[in-house]
Amino acid sequence: MQQFLPVSKKDMKERGIEQLDFVYVCGDAYVDHPSFGAAIICRILELHGYTVGIIPQPDWKDDNSINILGEPRLGFFVSAGNMDSMVNHYSVSKHHRDYDNYSPGGKAGLRPDYATIVYCNLIRHTYKTKPIIIGGIEASLRRLAHYDYWSNKVRRSILLDSGADIISYGMGERSVVEIADCLASGMDVKDITYIDGTVYKTRDKSFTEDGIILPSFEEIKADKKTYAQSFYTQYVNTDAFTAKKLVETYDGAMYVIQNPPQKPLSRQEMDDVYAIEYMRAYHPMYEKDGGIPAIKEVKFSLISNRGCFGGCNFCALTFHQGRIIQSRSQESIIDEAKLITKDPEFKGYIHDVGGPTANFRNPSCKKQLEKGVCTNRQCLFPKKCPNLQVDHKEYVQLLTKLRKLPKVKKVFVRSGVRFDYVMYDKDDTFLRDLCKYHISGQLKVAPEHISNNVLSYLGKPDISVYNAFCDKYAKINKELGLKQYLVPYLMSSHPGSTLDDAIALAEYLRDHHLSPEQVQDFYPTPSTISTTMYYTEIDPRDMKPVYVCKNPHEKAMQRALIQYKRPENYDLVKEALMKAGREDLIGFGEECLIPPRKIKGKDFSKNHSDKKPANKSGNAQNKKSNGKNVRPTENKNNKNKKTSNERTKNRRRK
């Protein structure tokens, strides 16, 4: 019978283990579920014959907290958890978050800032030479020198600051087993230099001879242009088939060397990972604290795929999981679905069937599993690649089979759906089934912005693609006799976004009767093109200057414009409009965003917006949509009006 991994000496004794082979130190609470990286890595090692214990959220102020399982025979694995610890701790405004989904009862503050570094230093206090292997999202995205938003400086590779021996970056199922086998054979950790998907450090210059020599740490720290060039070299070397070894020099004597990524897992290998018998729950020791909140959303969800060829510039998936899609077989997913229907808490609802992008089930073109992805073009941006294979058939089959399982009432799709990929499919079956069976009243999609200027920096398609998707979505829902809405995710202050762009977005929201309840300010996280733009004010793709909104007050104005109807945003919106010379949007006319003066205690937008007629899909009225972020189709009465983009272009010509 499967058990939780040992978390104490008592657990070890009950299992007859005198000394563990490995100890895994993690910034998250212990949840034995395949949505948690720590669980997968530990169970994979266990599957290959190694004994593994876990120390979740040790007290980093107490050296003894790292000794509760004793000294491991072979080494330590260390991860900050499912999130970068700094993203986990801080909002984009650098304020402390007061809730942690991955901690008992949601309690914040149970892991340190830069958790991977702190845990490794804690280990080194006691175990001076014991091998330490770091992994997870924090180590993966900080594997070479990187801009750190929270300290506002360029930091060294996390390998150096942590004192660890090896980084297992990306998805580590293969690399951790290879590392474990090397250590078990008696090999010195310093000699493990050849495993794909790893980063190591050395003072031996001979290891650098067949690699791409990146600018030194001192050079990229001193010059932003050099930083941008170095980052883009890394970005185009993230494919397992085409990537070269990368070498970064420190002080002219230390070399941090990144081996090429591991090859994508085959479908059978993916199936094997999810066929492991997980406990599928948090450890019972957390029951007294109210459990671990993060399990709620994933407990009855199914992971279908990994990787993403969407190519959004603000997303780190290219660096972490890669662009080649890896997916599980239908049989594997259905077997897991049958397993969760047996859970006493299952109420008949599968919460999600997806991954980074729900409707990506196969590589974007046939050549990728032999030659890799293109280094000089994206699959979807700026336009669809001629070689892109668009096919939802297998995903539709999978969802249909899941719907028919006994005890299953409804199967939701809550992972992101790429609307442009949907539009490129000549067969509407997937979108029709999605509307009919797999959403409940609303579908969340991510256009992020409406200005094509900003979209080009985001790596997102032209706004015309989103508009066409909205029309098709409304049409299909009408045919099905359903009143369902689109909820667009929007981002403010992304590099390239000017005040004019923010105003154009506000006009779009006005024209389409949208009232966003949530807005995401751009968050510069490690190892993305967008973060490089933010720091350097250079687009690393073409090395041209890019405008970056860094002033907190202007950022507040851009954000307020997206929610211009809120009375508390009135002053910021008015200031923004006056600063941009858009006083024409201040007044009581239909096209105005705000009235000329603040109306205390009232929603000033009602003076002009409520008079508009309903749109084609019949869901424009705020009362009917219950305040949701509805995106209806274009109002017939506004056909002859200039669009907000056209008005902006005309002003710029003037």
- How far apart, in whole angstroms, are the C-alpha atoms of residue 147 and residue 230? 12
pLDDT digits (tens, 9 = 90+) for 33-83: 999 999 999 999 999 999 999 999 999 999 999 999 999 999 999 999 999
**Does 626 have pLDDT greater than 70?**
no
CA dist 224 → 153, 219, 235, 540, 547 (Å)? 11, 9, 16, 10, 15
Strand intervals (E) in 243-303: 246-250, 254-258, 281-282, 301-303
Give the list of residues 6+ apart from residue 479 with CB closer than 8 angstroms, or none. none
Average pLDDT score over residue span 159-181: 97
- CA angle 433–381–438, rounded 5-degree value: 15
**Does 640 have pLDDT greater than 60?**
no
Are residues 456 and 434 both part of a single domain?
no
The last residue of a domain, from among 163, 195, 227: 195
The last residue of a domain, from among 195, 227, 251: 195
Q: pTM score, two decimals?
A: 0.90
- Confidence at 647, pLDDT banded by 50, 70, 90: very low
The last residue of a domain, from among 135, 165, 195: 195
The predicted pLDDT at position 605 comes to 47
Are residues 519 and 455 both part of a single domain?
yes
DSSP letter at 319 equals H
The predicted pLDDT at position 603 comes to 55
CA dist 391 → 167, 304, 356, 360, 427 (Å)? 36, 15, 17, 9, 9
**Does 651 have pLDDT greater than 70?**
no
Nearest in space to 534 (alpha carbons), one of 50, 144, 152, 43: 152
Percent of all residues in the chain with a pLDDT value above 70, rounded to a whole number: 92
The predicted pLDDT at position 602 comes to 56
Q: What is the CATH number of the domain that holds 592?
A: 3.30.750.200
Question: Looking at the DSSP assignment, which residues form a beta bridge with residue 77?
Answer: 24, 133
Domain that holds residue 336: 300-439
Are residues 618 and 580 both part of a single domain?
yes
The predicted pLDDT at position 228 comes to 98
Are residues 36 and 127 both part of a single domain?
yes
Are residues 76 and 166 both part of a single domain?
yes
Average pLDDT score over residue span 444-451: 95
**Does 638 have pLDDT greater than 60?**
no
**Does 652 have pLDDT greater than 80?**
no
Angle between helices 393-403 and 330-341 (to 10 degrees): 20
- 221 by Cβ neighbours in 10 Å (0-12 / 13-18 / 19+) ranks as middle
Structure tokens at 43: 């169970």
Are residues 615 and 556 both part of a single domain?
yes
- Confidence at 259, pLDDT banded by 50, 70, 90: very high
* Contact criterion met (CB below 8 Å) for 549 and 531: no
Q: What is the CATH number of the domain that holds 15?
A: 3.40.50.280
CA dist 105 → 84, 197, 296 (Å)? 20, 35, 12
- How far apart, in whole angstroms, are the C-alpha atoms of residue 152 and residue 586? 37
51-60, 538-547, 643-652: least confident range: 643-652
Phi and psi torsions of 281, nearest 5°: -160, 165
CA dist 551 → 454, 490, 493, 495, 573 (Å)? 18, 20, 10, 12, 16
* Contact criterion met (CB below 8 Å) for 524 and 530: yes
212-216, 281-285, 427-431, 632-636: least confident range: 632-636
Pairing of strands 75-79, 22-26: parallel
The predicted pLDDT at position 643 comes to 41
Residue with tokens 């929270």: 150
User: Is the C-alpha dihedral spanning 608, 613, 617, 623 positive or negative?
Assistant: positive
Are residues 148 and 73 both part of a single domain?
yes
- Confidence at 376, pLDDT banded by 50, 70, 90: confident
Mean pLDDT score across all residues of the chain: 91
pLDDT digits (tens, 9 = 90+) for 495-537: 999 999 999 999 999 999 999 988 899 999 999 999 999 999 9
Structure tokens at 594: 């705000």
Within 13 Å and on the Cβ side, how many CA atoms surround 429? Answer: 11
**Does 616 have pLDDT greater than 90?**
no
pLDDT digits (tens, 9 = 90+) for 96-113: 999 999 999 999 999 999
The predicted pLDDT at position 601 comes to 59
Are residues 533 and 621 both part of a single domain?
yes
- Decide if 558 is inside a domain: yes
- How far apart, in whole angstroms, are the C-alpha atoms of residue 345 and residue 210? 55
- How far apart, in whole angstroms, are the C-alpha atoms of residue 302 and residue 333? 7
- Decide if 2 is inside a domain: no
DSSP letter at 174 equals H
Q: Indicate the number of domains in the chain.
A: 3
Angle between helices 267-275 and 330-341 (to 10 degrees): 10
Give the list of residues 6+ apart from residue 367 with CB closer than 8 angstroms, or none. 387
Q: What is the CATH number of the domain that holds 359?
A: 3.30.750.210
Residue with tokens 């020791």: 285
Are residues 424 and 528 both part of a single domain?
no
Are residues 304 and 421 both part of a single domain?
yes
Maximum C-alpha span of the chain:
81
The predicted pLDDT at position 369 comes to 82
Are residues 573 and 458 both part of a single domain?
yes
